[in-house]
Amino acid sequence: MKFPNAFLIVLAILTLSLCSSFSAPLPQIKLTPTFTKQDIKLPVALAIPPDDSARLFLVQQFGKITILPRNRSSADSSTFLDLTDRPLIEKQFEEGLLGLAFHPDYAENRKFYIYYTLQDPKQSILSEMQCSADDPSKADPSTERILLRVPQPFWNHNSGNITFGPDGYLYIAIGDGGSANDPQRFSQNTFVHNGKILRIDVNTRSGNRPYGLPADNPFLNKPGYHPEIFALGLRNPWGISFHPKTQELWAADVGQSAYEEINIITKGGNYGWSHDEATHPAKAHRDPPPKKTPFIDPIHEYDRRSGTSITGGLHYRGKAVPALQGQYIYGDWGFGNLWALHHKDGKTTNQKIFTRPSSQNKFRPTAFVEDEKGELLILSHGGQIFTISE
Ligand SMILES: [Ca+2]
């Protein structure tokens, strides 16, 4: 009689361990348009200032930042910043106003940061600006202070995602300079800022620079390296976010012609482009890879059967779909499909949670952001904003 009991105990342990190593099937989600009375064009980013106003600032690629109304059915909106009179912007479709981040002390200093492209010659600009001292709904462009100017030889791969880390430093994602297959080998070139994630301190100054260099930047005093470089070997990182618990920096990287990838960015890490495309040798050109530097593989990749251009997301903390909590929600700009990825202790699960129907064929996710209540909003390049539900 002892054997059956022991057998049952072993069976129970086996069952428990199997259950814990596979994640339960996740629900398919529905997308519902919100802010439907707004005239939204080419939304690419959204940020909430860290004050108590709970306002959503929408970045539209053609050069405008709009404050969305608190009442989501309202047609009201107000323009916070308008750069459309500059020789910007969105001349071709990966150019324009691409990033916005509010200073952690915005409530006191009214400072925010924007990333945009200019023409003639093509370049990316990272600027600091302040909100008007008199009107919290208006930026004051006369306060602009250019922090960084990065030449862009081609129109594509500007990236432009910017965000403050939990360390208070500003992280800047910059693509490889464009064209295809990184023709100038910028991503592995440590004398240029292209194809990198940079990290700067906006509160100090280092030498002649209009910003400071964090003392623990990985290449700070290393000859042959720009000291702003935090990670290299990226192609067009689109969608960077910090894990709310582990504080890891997650970055999607758009592939060339075969693979899309999700990376956990470590300080000083080299993510392989343009020797590798995800975990595969890049097809178009392969210089001998530098032997001394091992490339860091993505934690997840997918091929052309699943999509053509990844949009990085965030770790879900909303209440609308409780089963998704703690999952990394991301999508594909080309196919319009969405997935939930979970990665812990070296194990990764990935489940599709939305398949774009033909009735929503303009759904092309450009950004996954939290609203003022921590619920997920998904921006679509077609000019819409969506909430999610089961
Ligand atoms: Ca890579």
- Residue matched to tokens 């770790």: 315
DSSP state of 108: H
The rounded Å distance from CA 253 to ligand 1 centre is: 7
The rounded Å distance from CA 7 to ligand 1 centre is: 47
| The pLDDT value given to residue 202 | 98
| The pLDDT value given to residue 244 | 96
The rounded Å distance from CA 257 to ligand 1 centre is: 13
CA distances to 27, 151, 354, 362, 383 from 335, rounded to whole Å, are 20, 31, 11, 10, 16
CA distance 131 to 214: 26
The rounded Å distance from CA 199 to ligand 1 centre is: 19
- What is the chain's pLDDT, residue by residue, as a tens digit (390 residues)? 344 455 555 544 444 444 444 568 999 999 999 999 999 999 999 999 999 999 999 999 999 999 999 999 999 999 999 999 887 666 667 889 999 999 999 999 999 999 999 988 989 999 999 999 999 999 999 999 999 999 988 888 888 999 999 999 999 999 998 888 888 889 999 999 999 999 999 999 999 999 999 999 999 999 999 999 999 999 999 999 999 999 999 999 999 999 999 999 999 999 999 899 999 988 776 666 666 678 999 999 999 999 999 999 999 999 999 999 999 999 999 999 999 999 999 899 999 999 999 988 899 999 999 999 999 999 999 999 999 999
The rounded Å distance from CA 141 to ligand 1 centre is: 37
The rounded Å distance from CA 188 to ligand 1 centre is: 11
Token pair recorded at residue 378:
């998904």
The rounded Å distance from CA 262 to ligand 1 centre is: 8
Enter the pTM of the model. 0.93
CA distance 270 to 188: 8
The rounded Å distance from CA 218 to ligand 1 centre is: 19
The answer to whether 204 and 210 are in contact (CB under 8 A) is: no
The rounded Å distance from CA 29 to ligand 1 centre is: 29
- Residue matched to tokens 């342990």: 13
The rounded Å distance from CA 224 to ligand 1 centre is: 22
The answer to whether 218 and 229 are in contact (CB under 8 A) is: yes
The rounded Å distance from CA 328 to ligand 1 centre is: 18
- Please give the CATH architecture assigned to the domain spanning 36-314+366-389: 6 Propeller (2.120)
The rounded Å distance from CA 368 to ligand 1 centre is: 21
The rounded Å distance from CA 233 to ligand 1 centre is: 7
The rounded Å distance from CA 310 to ligand 1 centre is: 13
The rounded Å distance from CA 181 to ligand 1 centre is: 13
CA distance 218 to 266: 10
| The pLDDT value given to residue 155 | 81
| The pLDDT value given to residue 2 | 44
| The pLDDT value given to residue 245 | 96
DSSP state of 164: E
| The pLDDT value given to residue 3 | 45
The torsion defined by the Cα of 186, 295, 263 and 308, in degrees rounded to 10, comes to 60
| The pLDDT value given to residue 287 | 67
| The pLDDT value given to residue 1 | 38
DSSP state of 169: P
Backbone torsion region of residue 175, taken as left when φ is above 0, otherwise alpha when ψ lies between -120 and 50, otherwise beta: beta
Domain boundaries, the chain: 36-314+366-389
